[in-house]
């Protein structure tokens, strides 16, 4: 093959290099996990820029999660010095937001439109149903939410939905009413972001032509998980030759994906988009990558073997040159509580061996599983971050503060208005709220605009609230974002309110964290600062910094939504971002997330917990083959996140949604090749784990002595819940002990005897406490 002069491709294998340097034509890279798809995509962007084929403004790159988009930007800036801020790299939602901000008028939206996250959307639907006296047994709001999201994913407005029966007709009617409500309030939900920008491009010829000219290269990662609408959206940027609507725009679509990692069918993802793409775009360049660079062969073998049980596959091979590495470790626990303890113990020893905490991930199937693990990590003093699930921006106190901020931006946002109208409490009762809503409905205006029509005491109180918002708006003019957030926290009375709450300290801290989040957002986004210096030296091998294209200044860019105020940008960020600004940001922390959220990421060590029938594979998916195959792909994604070490774990009992469940271990264990496994716990004799096990997790009343299997070294520390001070080891000064809530501590002193015995214990994370031994559950640990 011809020697390629670019150092960018020097480290790549032949297929990867070929993919990176393909001519500007449509291409599909279909390859398994860890084969370098994302790396190829990122390097291709760098290569296109470096060889002057396109400027930073001519690239549109889409990926699935915020974390992945960030990762891409980071990798790109490591490859060559480029102003990544001017580039359109992001998630579908993020890019749609950007489009709609830039062309809000043509899209029929107010400049200050706000984004409803899933929670907000549900409460908006509930409000609507209440207003129209919808029977929520027949039409549960959650189902309506699902229905509306599904219609939007299929690109359907209410008039497009075939109303087959009475029930659908009613749902469509509510969908239409919901749309009206959103439009009136100036808010859009996630599905709307996508659909609205799709319609904008479809209907506005000038805008479509502009972007078709602008984006010469369109690159899509994780293509297997695009849904119908997303694929249609891409087609508008680069019409396929077969459709004949537009003259071929001459731009190139570069899609990378892996059919084995398609895990969003439940949200409308269509793996068939890959085949359609090849056909409709007459794709000439299809490249397979077969070398895995991520995982040791024990991990890769496990993944390959597992996915081999799926029948519907395009079929790919993956090999690795890495050695066998450590075997995949499998552990069984009697309860989820003990499982969490086991994970924590393993992590402690990994950290002792100098694994950075951020290179350790704990993956689970459902968000609800994180709580017990979080508790164990917290007690052990191990910093962690949770992605998705309980997001920072979804906590109640944060949403309250954001509601005030949103009202400053857009007073017509009724969802926000209702959220804080009487919070902190200011004596506005439900009756007054209803009265206000009636007036607004009759006048067809927002709650904010209806205020003057409400009279009497209620009217005065509500007018007071509106005046408060107006004052905040006035005072925030010309302020920095951080100043605005501080102003709102103080002036809204939120901080004051939580200070007086008995357990409000954490909420106050979270609110303070919002100030930090605002500040770091401004820094990251570079508002009010010079653009990223273009002369930074790249981390990679001796690049020529004088590549002409890099010196070309970015054209002043009307498309990028630069005019967006920092507050508006921050509010979009809060609605779109998943917890990337949690308190622990920047700290070296263990990573917790669902398997879905882990897509595309990699870690040295990975724990997959809760591998039980009904949980993973999930019970909703077990009844049909498609569902089961999707679960298996999900497991394939989970396994292939690990580079060096993989731990699989299941528990005999689990407290989930308030119930103790007795689970069988996941069928996926039987689908792994024995030679790469190491069972840490031998299969249990039958009958073991009966009555006694219920109490082990500390979820039930204690009393029965805890059986102690000999096989688990982690067991002793984990069996903490058995206090039995009279029968167990006496607590003595100097001892290391474990407490259910406070974690590990050291006994400083013991006083008294019998029922009056008390111990003074120092807990590293909670300080020194006196505990009554007859009550406190303290267990000695070695
Ligand atoms: P996934 O399907 O999970 O998204 P992927 O195919 O996108 O995986 P990447 O994340 O791009 O794979 O690459 C996996 C890892 O292998 C990364 O750490 C990447 O830097 C590394 N890698 C890729 N190609 C090479 C190569 N030619 N030499 C060395 N390392 C490589
Ligand atoms: Mg990838």
Which helix H or strand E contains 643, and what residues bound it?
strand 642-656
**Structure ipTM:** 0.99
Residue 520: band (very low, low, confident or very high) from pLDDT cuts 50, 70, 90 = confident
24 is in an annotated binding site: no
Q: Beta-strand (E) ranges in 318-446?
A: 328-335, 360-364, 384-386
Cross-strand pairs, 647? 329, 607
Quote the pLDDT of residue 539. Answer: 29
Q: Which of 120, 185, 221, 486 is catalytic?
A: 221
Separation between Cα atoms, residue 46 and residue 12, nearest integer Å: 14
Q: Count the alpha carbons within 13 Å of 229 in the hemisphere toward its beta carbon.
A: 25
> pLDDT tens digits for 715-769?
333 333 333 333 466 888 888 888 877 778 888 888 777 766 778 888 877 677 7
Quote the pLDDT of residue 30. Answer: 93
610 C-alpha vs ligand 1 centroid, how far in Å?
A: 27
Contacts for 433-442 with beta carbons within 8 Å, 24 or more apart? 436/462, 437/131, 440/414, 441/131
304 C-alpha vs ligand 2 centroid, how far in Å?
A: 17
Active site includes 288? no
Separation between Cα atoms, residue 270 and residue 292, nearest integer Å: 25
Separation between Cα atoms, residue 48 and residue 46, nearest integer Å: 6
Quote the pLDDT of residue 432. Answer: 87
Residue 546: band (very low, low, confident or very high) from pLDDT cuts 50, 70, 90 = very low
Q: In this structure, are strands 328-335 and 677-679 parallel, antiparallel, or unpaired?
A: parallel
> pLDDT tens digits for 652-664?
988 766 667 888 9
Quote the pLDDT of residue 538. Answer: 29
More reliable by pLDDT, 768 or 224: 224
Residue 527: band (very low, low, confident or very high) from pLDDT cuts 50, 70, 90 = low
Choice from 293, 359, 595 to test ligand 1 binding pocket (greatest atom count within 8 A of CB): 293
Separation between Cα atoms, residue 669 and residue 694, nearest integer Å: 24
Quote the pLDDT of residue 214. Answer: 93
Report the C-alpha dihedral over residues 408, 409, 414, 418, rounded to 10 degrees: -30
Quote the pLDDT of residue 86. Answer: 74
- Candidates 338, 273, 367; CA nearest to 579 is 367
Most confident of 251-255, 438-442, 460-464: 251-255
pLDDT over 50 at 544, yes or no: no
Residue 402: band (very low, low, confident or very high) from pLDDT cuts 50, 70, 90 = very high
> pLDDT tens digits for 297-332?
999 999 999 999 999 888 787 899 989 999 999 999
Q: Which of 117, 192, 222, 260 is catalytic?
A: 222
Share of the chain above pLDDT 90, in %: 49
Separation between Cα atoms, residue 50 and residue 45, nearest integer Å: 9
410 C-alpha vs ligand 2 centroid, how far in Å?
A: 38
Helix 272-280 × helix 228-237 angle, to 10°: 20
Distances (CA, A) of 431 to 445, 447, 457, 463, 488: 19, 14, 12, 15, 27
Q: If you average pLDDT over residues 573-590, what whole number do you get?
A: 63
Alpha helices by DSSP H, listed for 132-165, are 141-153
Phi, psi of 755 (to 5 degrees): -65, -20
Quote the pLDDT of residue 543. Answer: 26
Phi, psi of 536 (to 5 degrees): -50, 140
Most confident of 552-556, 617-621, 643-647: 643-647
Q: Which of 21, 37, 577, 744 is catalytic?
A: 37
Residue 39: band (very low, low, confident or very high) from pLDDT cuts 50, 70, 90 = very high
Minimum CA distance residue for ligand 1 atom 23: 36
Share of the chain above pLDDT 70, in %: 84
691 is in an annotated binding site: no
Q: If you average pLDDT over residues 620-624, what whole number do you get?
A: 83
More reliable by pLDDT, 637 or 455: 637
13 lines ligand 1 (CB under 6 A): yes
36 is in an annotated binding site: yes
Phi, psi of 521 (to 5 degrees): -65, -45
- Name residues whose C-beta falls within 8 Å of residue 107's C-beta, 6 or more positions apart in sequence: 99, 100, 196, 197, 199, 200
> pLDDT tens digits for 326-378?
999 999 999 998 999 999 999 999 999 999 999 999 999 987 788 789 888 98
The residue count for the chain: 782
The token duo for 4 is 């390629």
pLDDT over 50 at 149, yes or no: yes
Separation between Cα atoms, residue 595 and residue 369, nearest integer Å: 12
- Candidates 714, 707, 717, 753; CA nearest to 732 is 753
Distances (CA, A) of 180 to 127, 441, 446, 537: 13, 12, 12, 52
37 lines ligand 1 (CB under 6 A): yes
Distances (CA, A) of 22 to 44, 223, 293: 9, 18, 22
pLDDT over 60 at 248, yes or no: no
Place of tokens 């009393």: 703
Over the range 723-734, which residues count as b (16 or more CB within 10 Å of their CB) and which as e?
A: bebeeeeebeee
259 C-alpha vs ligand 2 centroid, how far in Å?
A: 12
Which helix H or strand E contains 656, and what residues bound it?
strand 642-656
Quote the pLDDT of residue 724. Answer: 36
> pLDDT tens digits for 233-247?
999 999 988 655 544
Separation between Cα atoms, residue 37 and residue 29, nearest integer Å: 7
> pLDDT tens digits for 64-108?
877 778 878 888 888 888 777 778 999 999 999 999 999 999 999
> Cβ-count burial of 3 within 10 angstroms (0-12 exposed, 13-18 middle, 19+ buried)?
exposed
pLDDT over 50 at 598, yes or no: yes
Eight-class DSSP state of 311: S
Phi, psi of 649 (to 5 degrees): -145, 145
12 lines ligand 1 (CB under 6 A): yes
293 lines ligand 1 (CB under 6 A): yes
Index of the ligand 1 atom closest to the CA of residue 12: 27
Quote the pLDDT of residue 782. Answer: 66
112 is in an annotated binding site: no
103 lines ligand 1 (CB under 6 A): no
Residue 672: band (very low, low, confident or very high) from pLDDT cuts 50, 70, 90 = very high
Quote the pLDDT of residue 73. Answer: 86
Q: If you average pLDDT over residues 506-520, what whole number do you get?
A: 81
Choice from 294, 322, 598, 601 to test ligand 1 binding pocket (greatest atom count within 8 A of CB): 294
Quote the pLDDT of residue 95. Answer: 94
DSSP per-residue codes, 213-250 = HH-SEEEESSGGG-BHHHHHHHHHHS--TTT-SS----
Active site includes 37? yes
Phi, psi of 305 (to 5 degrees): -65, -45
pLDDT over 80 at 157, yes or no: yes
**Ligand at shortest distance from the CA of 42:** 1
pLDDT over 90 at 536, yes or no: no
Quote the pLDDT of residue 508. Answer: 84
Place of tokens 């990798």: 75
CB 194 within 8 Å of CB 93: yes
Separation between Cα atoms, residue 356 and residue 27, nearest integer Å: 38
Separation between Cα atoms, residue 301 and residue 541, nearest integer Å: 33
Q: If you average pLDDT over residues 18-23, what whole number do you get?
A: 95
Q: If you average pLDDT over residues 149-156, what whole number do you get?
A: 92
**Ligand at shortest distance from the CA of 35:** 1
Place of tokens 């998980």: 225
**Ligand at shortest distance from the CA of 300:** 1
3-class SS at 760? strand
* Listed range (58-72, 131-145, 481-495, 676-690) with the worst mean pLDDT: 676-690
Q: What is the mean pLDDT of the chain?
A: 82
Separation between Cα atoms, residue 259 and residue 350, nearest integer Å: 33
Separation between Cα atoms, residue 257 and residue 33, nearest integer Å: 9
Minimum CA distance residue for ligand 1 atom 21: 293
pLDDT over 50 at 169, yes or no: yes
Index of the ligand 1 atom closest to the CA of residue 261: 2
Residue 15: band (very low, low, confident or very high) from pLDDT cuts 50, 70, 90 = very high
Quote the pLDDT of residue 700. Answer: 29
Active site includes 374? no
pLDDT over 70 at 294, yes or no: yes
Active site includes 490? no
User: What pTM did the predictor assign?
Assistant: 0.73
CB 278 within 8 Å of CB 656: no
Q: Count the alpha carbons within 13 Å of 640 in the hemisphere toward its beta carbon.
A: 29
- Candidates 154, 151, 246, 243; CA nearest to 207 is 246
Active site includes 641? yes
Quote the pLDDT of residue 719. Answer: 32
> Is the bond into 617 cis (omega within 30 degrees of 0)?
yes
Angle of CA points 108, 109, 115, to nearest 5° = 140
């Amino acid at each position: 093959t011809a020697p390629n002069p670019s150092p960018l491709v020097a480290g790549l294998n032949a297929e990867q290099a070929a993919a990176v340097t393909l001519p500007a034509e449509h291409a599909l890279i279909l390859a398994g996990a860890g084969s370098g798809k994302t790396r190829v995509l990122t390097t291709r962007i760098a290569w296109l820029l470096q060889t002057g084929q396109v400027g930073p403004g001519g690239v549109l790159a889409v990926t699935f999660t915020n974390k992945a988009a960030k990762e891409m930007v980071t990798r790109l800036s490591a490859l060559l010095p480029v102003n990544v801020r001017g580039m359109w790299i992001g998630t579908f939602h993020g890019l749609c937001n950007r489009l709609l901000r830039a062309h809000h008028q043509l899209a029929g939206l107010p400049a200050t439109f706000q984004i409803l996250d899933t929670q907000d959307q549900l409460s908006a639907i509930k409000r609507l149903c209440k207003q129209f006296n919808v029977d929520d047994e027949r039409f549960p709001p959650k189902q309506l939410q699902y229905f509306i999201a599904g219609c939007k994913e299929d690109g359907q407005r209410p008039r497009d939905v075939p109303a087959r029966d009475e029930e659908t007709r009613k749902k469509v009617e509510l969908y239409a009413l919901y749309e009206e409500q959103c439009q009136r309030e100036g808010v859009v939900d996630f599905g709307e972001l996508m659909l609205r920008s799709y319609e904008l491009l479809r209907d506005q010829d000038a805008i479509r032509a502009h972007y078709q000219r602008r984006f010469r290269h369109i690159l899509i990662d994780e293509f297997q998980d695009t849904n119908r609408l997303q694929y249609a959206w891409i087609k508008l940027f680069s019409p396929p030759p077969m459709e004949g609507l537009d003259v071929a725009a001459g731009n190139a679509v570069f899609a990378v994906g892996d059919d084995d990692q398609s895990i969003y069918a439940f949200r409308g993802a269509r793996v068939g988009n890959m085949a359609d793409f090849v056909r409709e775009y007459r794709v000439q360049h299809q490249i397979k990558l077969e070398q895995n660079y991520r995982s040791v062969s024990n991990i890769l073998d496990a993944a390959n073997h597992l996915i081999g049980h799926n029948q519907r596959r395009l079929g790919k091979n993956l090999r690795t040159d890495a050695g066998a590495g450590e075997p995949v470790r499998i552990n069984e626990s009697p309860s989820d509580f003990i499982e969490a303890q086991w994970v924590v113990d393993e992590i402690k020893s990994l950290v002792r061996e100098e694994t950075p905490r951020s290179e350790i991930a704990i993956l689970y199937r459902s968000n609800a599983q994180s709580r017990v693990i979080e508790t164990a990590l917290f007690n052990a003093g191990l910093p962690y971050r949770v992605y998705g699930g309980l997001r920072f921006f979804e906590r109640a106190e944060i949403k309250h503060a954001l509601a005030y901020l949103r009202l400053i931006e857009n007073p017509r946002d009724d969802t926000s208005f209702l959220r804080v109208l009487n919070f902190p409490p200011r004596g506005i009762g439900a009756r007054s709220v209803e009265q206000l809503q009636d007036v607004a409905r009759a006048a067809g205006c927002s709650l904010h605009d209806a205020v003057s029509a409400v009279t009497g005491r209620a009217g005065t109180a509500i007018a007071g609230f509106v005046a408060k918002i107006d004052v905040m708006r006035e005072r925030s003019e010309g302020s920095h974002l951080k100043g605005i957030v501080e102003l709102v926290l103080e002036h809204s009375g939120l901080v004051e309110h939580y200070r007086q709450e008995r357990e409000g300290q954490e909420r106050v801290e979270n609110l303070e964290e919002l100030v930090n989040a605002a500040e770091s957002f401004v820094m990251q986004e570079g508002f009010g600062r010079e653009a990223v210096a273009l002369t930074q030296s790249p981390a990679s091998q001796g690049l020529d910094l004088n590549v002409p294209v890099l010196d070309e200044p970015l054209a002043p860019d009307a498309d990028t939504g630069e005019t967006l105020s920092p507050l508006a940008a921050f509010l979009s960020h809060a609605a779109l971002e998943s917890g990337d600004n949690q308190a622990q940001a920047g700290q070296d922390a263990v990573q917790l997330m669902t398997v879905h959220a882990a897509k595309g990421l990699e870690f040295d060590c990975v724990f997959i917990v809760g591998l039980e029938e009904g949980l993973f594979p999930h019970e909703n998916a077990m009844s049909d083959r498609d569902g089961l195959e999707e679960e298996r792909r999900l497991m394939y994604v989970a396994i292939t996140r690990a580079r060096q070490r993989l731990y699989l774990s299941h528990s005999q009992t689990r407290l989930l949604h308030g119930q103790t469940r007795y689970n069988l271990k996941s069928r996926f264990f039987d689908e792994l090749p024995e030679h790469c496994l190491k069972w840490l716990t031998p299969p249990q004799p039958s009958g073991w784990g009966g009555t006694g096990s219920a109490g082990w997790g500390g979820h039930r009343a204690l009393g029965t002595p805890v059986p102690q299997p000999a096989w688990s070294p982690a067991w002793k520390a984990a069996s903490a819940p058995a206090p039995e001070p009279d029968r167990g080891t006496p607590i003595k000064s100097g001892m290391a002990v474990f407490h259910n809530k406070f974690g590990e501590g050291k006994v400083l002193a013991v006083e008294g005897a019998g029922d009056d015995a008390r111990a003074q214990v120092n807990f590293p994370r909670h300080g020194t406490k006196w505990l009554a031994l007859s009550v406190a559950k303290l267990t000695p640990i070695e």
